[in-house]
Structures are given as C-alpha cells and as structure tokens.
C-alpha cells in the first residue's frame, strides 16, 4: 500500500512540474502561482510615509529635550478635585475656572525651560482664555508643544470573567478606538502634536492579577492606538499603568512591571509602531499603598532594572507618572525624589528618563491659587519651582527639601479614584 501511495505521489509531482514548465514556456513573464497550501503566511508591513516618520521623530526628540518633562493637564474635571487636598476641593468646578487656572499655568514665564509638552483634555484643546486666546496658542507661544488625551476612560463593568481587584472592580481596558482616527486628525488640525492613552492594570497576587487576558487587552489596545496616532501625525505616549492600590510588595510590582512592558513592546512591534516616534509613560516600581514602604534607592534600582530588561534602546524617552501615594506623604516631593534617585544612580541610560506629572507638579500651585486672580503670580511661581525641581531630578541634581511644597497636611483622598 505504501509503495502504491509513493508511486501516485511521484506521478503527481512529475505532472505538476511538466505543467508548470509548459505554462512558463508559453508565458515566460507570468509564472503560475503555487497553490496557497504551499505558501508560508507572513505579515506584510505597510510603512509610514518617509515625511511622516521624519515629522514624528522630530517631535519626539523635541519632547525628549534634556531637562524637560510633561505637564499633565488632562483632567476631565478641575485639577483641584484630583489634587487630594482639603482646601483645593473647595474651588468651584466650572468651565470658567478651569480655563482661568489652565491659562495661568500655560502662560507661566519661563515654564518651557523645564516643560517640553502639555497634555490637554479635549475640552481644553478647543478652549479659549478670558481674552479669547486659544489655549493651544498660549502653549505654543510659551515654547511648549500641545498634546491631547485620546482615551475615553474605562467601563468599571470590566472584562467578562475577570476578578475584582483592589480598585473594587474587574480588570478593564480603555474605550475610544472606534473613532480614534477621526479624533486624532481633529486634534492634529487644532495644533496637537502628541497624544496620550492610558490603560489600568491591578495587582492582586492571591487572584493572580493582572491576568494574562488583561495584559493582552491592555498592551494591544495601546499598540493599536499608537499605530493610529502615528498615521495621523501624533507622537503617541504609551501608558500601561499598574496602579499601586493593594498591599503587595515592591518585588511583586517589579515582576509585574517587567512582564507588562515586555508584552507592550511585542505588541508595538506587531502593530508596526515606529519606536523612534513614540514615548513610554510607565508607573515607577513601588510597593502597594498598603505594603511595606520601599526607600527611593530601592524604587530607583528596581524601576531601572525592569526598564533595562524590557524597553528597547530605539525608544527615545520614558516619562513617569507620579502615581498615588499614602495620605501621610508629600506626593510632589516623593515623585521628585524618586526620579532624582534614578538619574543620580544611573547616569548613562539609553533613554531620556523624565516626568509626566499632574498633581505632583500642580498641587502647591492649586492651593496657592484657590480660584483667585490675585494669587495667579504666586501660583505661577509655585508651578515653576516644582517644574524646575523635576528638571533637576532628570539630571540627578535635585536636593531633597529645596523646593517648598504644601506638604502632606490637608491631604484627603482624591476624588475620582484611579482615573
């Protein structure tokens, strides 16, 4: 039986070969393709136009300028509601107050010495100040690059079948991919040149969180966003945030952070994202809010180790989020000290290691301002001082305590939770 089968196969091969030769002779410039079963499938990359790549890389380099970081001004409500301060939350949250506060920040004299880009909420991107000036013009005229938050947040019902984590809801992913190309194009037309998208992952070792499913959804959602943004001319900030809620150790956070970032860069490769035209916004490696507190030197060591094991050299910049802190901590000072510890201990890293802070840049400025125009100049000085402190931290040159802050007194749980 085997002999018969071999003979039949041999006759088929001979026939197929003669047929192909005959067709080739009759039509020498048109080869008959082999059946699909003989082909090995492969992913064909469709490269971005050269001029688009040039633009993205130039923007990324400007964002990663030495000594500079991001002002995260993309809160959906007034930043005073997320400042986590008993006095700040008393400021009325109106569109007029949001415009007044943000225009004050964006026009701070000298801010571009320390801030390369400003991340905006959709409202702010199209908003004007009291004098009728576009917010994006205030930013550009002050030497900074406007950016835009493009994710639409997450639904707390979460991924079906996933466990409830320390945030009190199942694992999630962010919405907004369906109309992202349209919104990205509109943002570009309005003057934005980079974008941000944040996904949240939770840690719970007992429930094996984050799950493989949540990590997969997180990193591919971010990679899809990044690819769409680059196509529309925006440098994407990729932000897979592992929130500190829980009582896990810093070692657990280190393991999870490394695992997530490795998966993230595999996803970016799969989606053909041009790494030189994108930047990363990760969490620092820290203990859970209910865990044993790790000192800045350990935060620095484990954070940089995780990055060295996962982030390609082609990535031009890493801009840390400050992350939530306990109520007895000065979150502004803590964020600056942790960044300083990294750059002081590791002076020859392949990427620009910097900051993308919201309340960790603005808290003292907000409490100084308190919704009163008469306090604007003092609030601007407070913002400039903390921006300068973080600029020094990007060079490992910050002296702890040298920048005055409102401190932990008056700290309350921030409104709005983890997002």
Which two three-digit tokens encode residue 387? Answer: 């921006």
Distances (CA, A) of 208 to 189, 258, 285: 43, 15, 18
Q: For the purposes of burial, counting CB atoms within 10 Å of the CB of 6, is it exposed (0-12), middle (13-18) or buried (19 or more)?
A: exposed
CB 129 within 8 A of CB 98: no
* Nearest partner of 282 among 292, 309, 270, judged by Cα: 309
Is 171 known to be catalytic?
Answer: no
Q: Indicate left, alpha or beta for 57 from its phi (over 0: left) and psi (-120 to 50: alpha).
A: alpha
Please say if 392 is a catalytic residue.
no
Cα separation, 293 vs 286, whole angstroms: 8
Radius of gyration of the CA atoms of the chain, in A: 26
Query: What distance in Å separates the CA atoms of residue 61 and residue 55, rounded to the nearest whole number?
Result: 10
68, 196, 281, 363: the catalytic one is 281
Supply angle C-alpha 417, 357, 68, rounded to 5.
170
Catalytic residue among 75, 171, 217, 239: 239
Residues known to be catalytic:
239, 281
């Amino acid at each position: 039986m085997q002999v018969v089968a071999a003979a039949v196969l041999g006759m088929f091969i001979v026939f197929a070969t003669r047929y192909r030769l005959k067709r080739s002779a009759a039509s020498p410039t048109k080869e008959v393709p082999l059946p699909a079963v003989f082909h090995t499938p492969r992913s064909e990359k469709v490269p971005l136009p050269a001029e688009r790549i040039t633009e993205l890389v130039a923007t990324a380099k400007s964002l990663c300028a030495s000594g500079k970081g991001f002002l995260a001004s993309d809160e959906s409500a007034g930043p005073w509601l997320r400042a986590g301060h008993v006095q700040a939350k008393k400021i009325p949250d109106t569109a007029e107050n949001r415009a007044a506060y943000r225009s004050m920040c964006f026009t701070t004299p000298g801010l571009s010495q320390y801030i390369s880009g400003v991340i905006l909420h959709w409202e702010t991107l199209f908003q004007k100040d009291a004098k009728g000036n576009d917010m994006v013009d205030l930013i550009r005229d002050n030497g900074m690059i406007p950016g835009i938050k493009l994710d639409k947040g997450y639904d707390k019902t979460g991924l079906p079948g996933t466990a409830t984590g320390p945030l009190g809801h199942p694992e999630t992913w962010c919405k907004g991919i369906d109309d992202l190309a349209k919104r990205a194009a509109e943002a570009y037309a309005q003057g934005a040149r980079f974008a941000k998208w944040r996904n949240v992952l939770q840690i719970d070792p007992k429930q094996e969180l984050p799950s493989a499913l949540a990590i997969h959804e997180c990193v591919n959602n971010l990679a899809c966003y990044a690819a769409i943004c680059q196509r529309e001319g925006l440098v994407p900030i990729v932000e897979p945030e592992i929130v500190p809620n829980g009582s896990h150790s810093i070692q657990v956070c280190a393991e999870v952070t490394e695992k997530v970032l490795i998966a993230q860069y595999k996803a970016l490769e799969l989606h053909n994202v041009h790494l030189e035209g994108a930047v990363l916004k990760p969490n620092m490696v820290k203990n859970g809010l209910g865990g044993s507190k790790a000192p800045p030197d350990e935060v620095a060591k484990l954070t940089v180790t995780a990055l060295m094991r996962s982030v390609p050299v082609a990535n031009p910049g890493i801009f840390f989020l400050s992350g939530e802190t306990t109520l007895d901590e000065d979150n502004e000072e803590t964020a600056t000290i942790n960044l300083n510890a990294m750059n002081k201990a590791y002076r020859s890293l392949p990427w620009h290691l910097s900051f993308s802070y919201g309340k960790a840049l603005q808290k003292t400025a907000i409490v100084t301002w308190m919704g009163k125009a008469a306090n604007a100049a003092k609030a601007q000085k407070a913002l400039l001082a903390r921006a300068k402190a973080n600029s020094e931290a990007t060079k490992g040159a910050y002296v702890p305590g040298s920048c005055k802050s409102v401190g932990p007194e008056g700290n309350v749980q921030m409104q709005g939770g983890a997002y």
